[in-house]
Structure 1
Amino acid sequence: MLSREERTPFSEWWWTVDKPLMGAILALMLTGVILSLAASPPVATRIGLDPFHFFSRHVMFLLPSCLVLLGVSFLSPRAIRRSALIIFAASIILIVLTLAIGPEVKGSRRWITLLGVNIQASEIAKPSFVVIAAWLFAESTKRPEMPATTMALVLLMMLVTLLVMEPDFGQTMLILMVWGSLFFIAGMRMIWVFGLAGLGAAGLFSAYLFVPHVAGRIKRFMNPASGDTFQVDTAMEAFYNGGWFGLGPGEGIAKRSLPDSHTDFVFAVAAEEFGIILCLAMLALFAFVVIRTLSRAYANEDMFSRFAASGLAILFGVQAAINMSVNLQLIPAKGMTLPFISYGGSSIVSLAYGVGMMLALTRLRPRTEVEASGRADAMRSYA
């Protein structure tokens, strides 16, 4: 056992990190490994790959992701801000390169291959953008004369413009929702909140009018007879087949025909093979991560840590909610992974980075340390 008297970096981390939160995250990771083994072999076999191709890669990406998560959780709030700025700048450059030289797949340019690894830069941009926006909103509360809110809006418009150019409307809506939530948490006037909500609705309506891909998905959602709804219909059948306790591991039927059973529709595979009980347990884990992080964030006196942890929790929770809602036909279909459950290298590493920052920002720190960090930031800003 580690003693509280020890002053090593690991012992200090161990006694200050939120262990129940970390346990819930590790439980989600383990669930993802099990469901990847259950859902991915039929997909790999259909496209001529080794049956365990996607499972092996899922585990391969999960190992460095755990290192990223643990390493980032050791960082101080100041180091988190600096790393987020660097990673956000790098991700913006990668998104621009993707638009310029990335391959077009199904009418979109979202991936770029570097050193033999496929990278979806928009996934990497999300958590770093949330942290930078949180810092700007925190600065606006401390120094009203600083145009921090305007700077946050400019960064939002830049990122959203690049995402729309890909196009990736699912990630765009996710970023807008998280940014709007941060804007509200920061105490901005309600007229601005409603105004931004109106702009978002206008943007969605414009996408419906001028982007056939978006219009098709909304029409199929409103009227299933208007187009191909094979995947969502098969997903719903999986829920009916599984019932409360499922058909048993490996006995699922939907995964044999669902093209995206290991990514967008892994939640349906979980329902069919392990039952609604597992789905409810997963939902409880996601809810626990979000609620626990928000409660710890609001107990923090440092405004940056409070806003950043809240924004990252909302990002995590909304992404999970979107994926599960698509599986249950509650919203139009969109490509969005289920955190730590769906297959996807860029998604898992990005989530590990974001969750690592959540753990770091919710660590228990002495009041003097927080005050010293705030004074140091203020001295640098006025120097």
Structure 2
Amino acid sequence: MSTTFARTDTSLIGRWWWTVDRWTLAAVIVIAAIGAVLTMAASPSVAERIGYDAFHFVRRQFVFLPAGMVLMVAVSLLSPRGVRRLAVLMCAVSLILMIAVLLVGVQTKGAARWISIAGLSVQPSEFVKPAFAVLAAWMFAEQRVGNDLPGYALASGLFVVVVGLLLLQPDVGMSIVVGAVWAVEFFLAGLPLVLVGAIALMFLGGGVGAYFVFDHVRIRVDRFFDPALGGGYQVTKALDAFSNGGLFGRGPGEGRVKELLPDAHTDFILAVAGEEFGLLLCLLIVGLFAFIVLRGFSKVFKGNDLFSLLAVSGLLVQFGLQAIINIASTTNLMPPKGMTLPFVSYGGSSTIALALTMGMVLALTRESPGAGGPR
């Protein structure tokens, strides 16, 4: 395909092809393809169990994934200024919808995180994450380069607003991800070491506070440290699935965990991968996530644009941390937290929001013509 466009091609697509990180693009597409296969493997049993036809989730995900890939490529065509403008629009709309969720949202498992729009269930908090990462990076960068803008205060104020709305839903896990993005960007922007310690203490205090304030957090933590309390059904079955799958898996369609887990197609889809396709596929998935994150950092740190460095770092922290939380929850390395595995788990809002995230990463890590680093 690389011979399709000559290096002298000055068209929009031609310039994009020779400046975009094609390795990262390919890795994301491979993860999405694996996700499509696993959705076909995991979701029919879940759909039938809750009264839908067997391919209900498959059909929907086969709309979300191609749409997400097209959207990712479209966003990757943007300039840094275009990425900032998109983030402003996304953040404004997401915050309005997050407020609406608190008023008229759909409650599921004790949390109000979704809102119905034109017959579609949308989770606005998925879209506020990449928007926040870009806007906070912009604010931090503006103050760091000496412009007359209180960027640190504005970014911190936006952080408080976003986390406040998330905790009202409540969504502690998403709040942790947004907090990590804010902290990493603040640190890279030149945060004094004294404030690094203060923020670390703030996060520690927030974790302790969440344990005492939110019942579901306390129950999950207690059960994690003391399995004798009961619960942990999905995690136990997921571990059994990994054991049954071994190195090469039982074979496509031969798994049984998808018949037992209500979230086999979303939060615990890695267990289906382990049982039917084995440890090798799970390691491939982990390796692809690690490759995307590490390659993104290596490319953006070669450039000299502070905004791109901060924004890409925040977006990659969000992307990588979401994958880590999902994998660690499934393998019982941390208390369970309902969070999708990027581009692998079923979910419309998650897939589209992650496509926007990776589109922004690709846009901000594109190389300048004739240069070796990001624009």
TM norm structure 1: 0.94
User: What is the match of residue 87 of structure 1?
Assistant: 90
Match of 2:340 in 1: 337
Of 108, 128, 132, 1:129 maps to 132
1:71-150 maps to which residues of 2 (within 5 A)? 71-143=74-146, 146-150=149-153
Q: Which residue of 1 aligns with 2:217?
A: 214
Distance in 2 separating the partners of 1:197 and 1:55: 42
Report the AA paired with residue 247 of structure 1: R
Measure, in 2, the Cα distance between the counterparts of 1:145 and 1:16: 33
Any idea what SS the aligned residue of 1:110 has? strand
- 1:36 is aligned to 2:53: no
Which SS does the other structure have where 1:234 is aligned? helix
Q: Which amino acid aligns with 1:330?
A: L
Q: Which residue of 2 aligns with 1:233?
A: 236
Counterpart of 1:59 (choices 47, 52, 62) is: 62
Verify: 1:166 aligned to 2:160, yes or no.
no
CA distance, structure 2, for counterparts of residue 285 and residue 367 of structure 1: 28
Counterpart in the other structure of 2:284: 281
Alpha-carbon distance in 1 for matches of 2:230, 2:163: 28
After superposition, give the CA deviation of every residue in 1:154-177 in whole Å (9 maximum; x if it has no partner).
Answer: 000000000000000110111111
Deviation readout 1:99-149 (Å, 9 max, x if unpaired): 011122221100000111110000011001000011111112101753111
- Tell me how far apart the structure 1 counterparts of residues 261 and 368 of structure 2 sit (CA, whole Å): 47
Supply the distance in 2 between the matched residues of 1:190 and 1:218 (Cα, whole angstroms): 31
Q: Matched residues in 1 for 2:17 and 2:302: separation?
A: 20
Distance in 1, Cα, partners of 2:142 & 2:11: 32
Aligned counterpart for 1:293 among listed residues 288, 291, 296: 296
Asked whether the 8 Å contact 2:105–2:115 carries over to 1, the reply is yes
Could you say what secondary structure the match of 2:252 adopts?
Answer: coil
String of CA shifts for 1:35-59, please: whole Å, max 9, x gaps. Answer: 0001111100111111111111111
Q: Following the alignment from structure 2 to structure 1, what is the Cα–Cα distance between the partners of residues 208 and 333?
A: 19
CA shift in 2, pair 1:201/1:123, >3 Å: same
Give the superposition deviation at 1:332. Answer: 0.4
Contact 2:61 2:347 (8 Å CA) reproduced? yes
Q: Return the alpha-carbon distance in structure 1 between the equivalents of residues 106 and 272 of structure 2.
A: 30
> Equivalent residue of 1:104, what SS?
strand
User: In the TM superposition, what is the alpha-carbon distance from 1:253 to its structure 2 partner?
Assistant: 1.2
2: CA distance, partners of 1:195 / 1:8: 50
Question: Secondary structure at the residue paired with 1:109?
Answer: strand
Provide, for residues 273-319 of structure 1, a one-character-per-residue CA deviation record: whole Å limited to 9, x for no partner: 10110010111100000001001110111111111111111111111
Unpaired runs of at least 5, structure 2? none
- Which residue is equivalent to 2:315? 312
1:357 maps onto 2:360 in alignment: yes
Note the aligned Cα RMSD (angstroms).
Answer: 1.5
Distance in 2, matches of 1:67 and 1:77, equals 19
SS at match of 1:80: helix
Partner of 1:379: none
For 1:123 and 1:130, how far apart are their aligned partners in 2?
12
Is 205-214 or 11-20 further displaced after alignment?
Answer: 205-214
Q: Which runs of 5+ in 1 are unaligned?
A: 374-383
Instruction: Tell me, in whole angstroms, the C-alpha distance in 2 between the residues paired with 1:301 and 1:364.
Output: 12
Provide the secondary structure at the position in 2 that maps to 1:307: helix
Amino acid corresponding to residue 80 of structure 1 in structure 2: V
Match of 1:193 among 155, 175, 196: 196
Give me the whole-angstrom Cα distance separating, in 1, the residues matched to 2:294 and 2:132.
21
Question: Aligned to 1:188, what secondary structure does the other structure show?
Answer: coil
The number of residue pairs the alignment matches comes to 371
Q: Percent identity?
A: 45
Residues 214-223 or 136-145, more deviating: 136-145
- Deviation of the 1:26 alpha carbon: 0.4
Code of the aligned partner of 1:167? P
Which runs of structure 1 show a deviation greater than 3 angstroms over 4 or more consecutive aligned residues? none
Segment drifting more, 108-117 vs 56-65: 56-65
* Residue identity opposite 1:152 in structure 2: A
